[in-house]
A and B are shown apart, each in its own frame.
Chain A
Amino acid sequence: MARQPLKTYLCLFAQQHPEFRLPELLSLASVTKSEVKFDELSYSKTNPLLLVHFPSEESACRIAARSLLIRSLFELWGSGRNHDELEASVNKLPSEFTDRYRRSDYTFKVVVRGFSRKCSAEKQLQLYERLSYLPLAGKVNLSNPDYEFHLLEDYGDNPNEAPMEPHRVFVGRLISHGQRHLIQKYAVKNRHFIGNTSMDAQLSLIMANMAQVKEGSLVFDPFVGTGSLLVAGAHFGGFGMGADIDYPLIHGRGRASRAGAESKWRGKDENVSSNLRQYGLADRYLDVLVADAAKNVWRQGELFDAIITDPPYGIREGRRKIWVKKYTKPSPT
């Protein structure tokens, strides 16, 4: 098969966990078997924009369909250091990009966004006027358009000393959003069963992406706790198995961890399996065991596809080991 030439997309990253943005992107390219290229020198941890090359829109969308750290992906229509360069670059677009939009049988909207400097309403109006060179013949529909075109203005990395004019501008067609909505959906604050150190939803999902969990993966967490990482693994199609040395926690005994409820006992149904059930993932729960991660309980052989874990660091959750017999009960005489 002949290699497809790569197409250029503009990636808008979330401004959180910047150190994981490129590793997550590379991991997802690998799990979706897609080629990906970008210029690492043009990437900055403090800047949310990066040009990325994928073989096709379809492969770009497959990656966005799993990514937590991609906010949006755009098909790049033009770029420049200022609006004149941008206009020249859009005018040079090959006709296969624009032909479809020269017909009038669709609706669209244009969105203007500035980074490090907000555009005033007045400035936005000027920019919409300025963008009239875009070859768009459809009707405007602000609430439910068929296509969205975004103008992104980059005013540098420091919002406190942002210049009056942007130093880079881009125009692109929105092709897909990332999975930021999952952060709300899996928020720990709404989770049925939580512990003192339940892993936050975003990081759990990023970890499942880095571990390349996919449909039918067997996922193991040797410090399972309340099962946050198994929930994330199950979201991406994994089947979860866990172990923990904390017998009362695994059996849902002891005091509740939720703020304001510390004086209450845990409910009978507070366990890892109920956490999966809460999200409709009950069938992706296999088992949890009470076991010491320092002692291997698994037979030899290839068993697990992914091991994701958040071990106790001895700060918020202490180190534990198996019990030592301290005394023997004196026998009655």
Chain B
Amino acid sequence: MKLLTHNMLTSHVKGVKNGFPLRILARKVEVRQIDFNPNFITRMIPRIDWSVLRAAAENLGHGQGLPESPPEEYESQEDFLKSAHHVLMEVEVLEGDLECPESGRKFPVTEGIPNMLLREDEV
């Protein structure tokens, strides 16, 4: 699971009002090199909850060099886009859990794939 995906996922357990962001309890994290595509990263920045991304990256030990918030005219700042690319695309949670901030329900991540299924009595 990439941090881009984590930034968009929310818990949907019954009764939970705010299931975002899910807490990452990582057991295995890997960095995979992916081609830098500045156009895609620029398109993603306005859709990202930056403080959540930064906190998630710090939690996984990859928060170095991330600013408090995206700089103005970030589309022309290659250094910033590259560090955003690194945390959004290259840092992968392979094994661990995603914990609902309200209910504490854990969604397991196995082989890099989050399992967001709930039992019928939980929805």
Residues in chain A near residue B101, CB distance under 8 A: none
Are B117 and A290 in touch, CB under 8 angstroms? yes
Are B37 and A283 in touch, CB under 8 angstroms? yes
Given the contacts A289-B116, A290-B117, A283 and B35 also touching, CB distance less than 8 Å: yes
Residue of A nearest to B19 (CB): A299
Cβ-based interface call for A164 (8 A):
no
Interchain nearest-CB distance for B3 vs A (Å): 10
Q: Which of B40, B89, B114, B123 contacts A295 (CB 8 A)?
A: B123
Are A295 and B115 in touch, CB under 8 angstroms? no
Interface string of B1-22 (1 = CB under 8 A from A): 1101100111010000000100
Cβ-based interface call for A160 (8 A):
no
Are B47 and A286 in touch, CB under 8 angstroms? no
Cβ-based interface call for A313 (8 A):
no
Residues in chain A near residue B39, CB distance under 8 A: 215-216
Interface residues of A in 284-333 (CB under 8 A from B): 286-292, 295-299, 301-303, 305, 321-325
Cβ-based interface call for B73 (8 A):
no
CA distance A325 to B118 in the complex (A): 12
Interchain nearest-CB distance for B110 vs A (Å): 8
Residues in chain A near residue B110, CB distance under 8 A: 251
Interchain nearest-CB distance for B53 vs A (Å): 13
Residue of B nearest to A239 (CB): B40
Cβ-based interface call for B113 (8 A):
yes
Interchain nearest-CB distance for B85 vs A (Å): 11
Interface string of B95-120 (1 = CB under 8 A from A): 00000000000000011111111111
Residue of A nearest to B5 (CB): A287
Residues in chain A near residue B115, CB distance under 8 A: 247, 289-291
Residues of B within 8 A of A (CB): 1-2, 4-5, 8-10, 12, 20, 34-35, 37, 39-40, 42-44, 47, 49, 89, 110-121, 123
6 nearest A-B pairs in the assembled complex, by CB-CB distance = A291-B116, A299-B10, A287-B5, A216-B39, A216-B40, A290-B115
Are A322 and B113 in touch, CB under 8 angstroms? no
Q: Which of A215, A247, A290, A298 contacts B10 (CB 8 A)?
A: A298
Cβ-based interface call for A208 (8 A):
no
Residues in chain A near residue B20, CB distance under 8 A: 299
Interchain nearest-CB distance for A222 vs B (Å): 12
Residues in chain B near residue A322, CB distance under 8 A: 117-120, 123
Interface residues of A in 242-277 (CB under 8 A from B): 243, 245, 247, 250-251
Are B5 and A241 in touch, CB under 8 angstroms? yes
Are A296 and B113 in touch, CB under 8 angstroms? no
Interchain nearest-CB distance for A238 vs B (Å): 9
Are A324 and B37 in touch, CB under 8 angstroms? no
Interchain nearest-CB distance for A253 vs B (Å): 10
Are A290 and B116 in touch, CB under 8 angstroms? yes
Are A251 and B4 in touch, CB under 8 angstroms? no
CA distance A283 to B85 in the complex (A): 12
Are A291 and B37 in touch, CB under 8 angstroms? no
Cβ-based interface call for A76 (8 A):
no
Are B117 and A292 in touch, CB under 8 angstroms? yes
Are B117 and A291 in touch, CB under 8 angstroms? yes
Cβ-based interface call for A86 (8 A):
no
Known: A283-B34, A290-B117. 19 other contacts (CB 8 A): A243-B116, A245-B117, A250-B113, A251-B111, A286-B4, A287-B1, A287-B5, A287-B114, A288-B113, A289-B5, A290-B113, A291-B116, A295-B123, A297-B116, A298-B9, A298-B10, A299-B20, A321-B120, A322-B123
Are B35 and A298 in touch, CB under 8 angstroms? no
Cβ-based interface call for A136 (8 A):
no
Interchain nearest-CB distance for B57 vs A (Å): 16
Residues in chain A near residue B1, CB distance under 8 A: 287, 289
Are A247 and B47 in touch, CB under 8 angstroms? no
Are B117 and A303 in touch, CB under 8 angstroms? no
Are B8 and A247 in touch, CB under 8 angstroms? no
Are A216 and B12 in touch, CB under 8 angstroms? no
CA distance A313 to B79 in the complex (A): 47
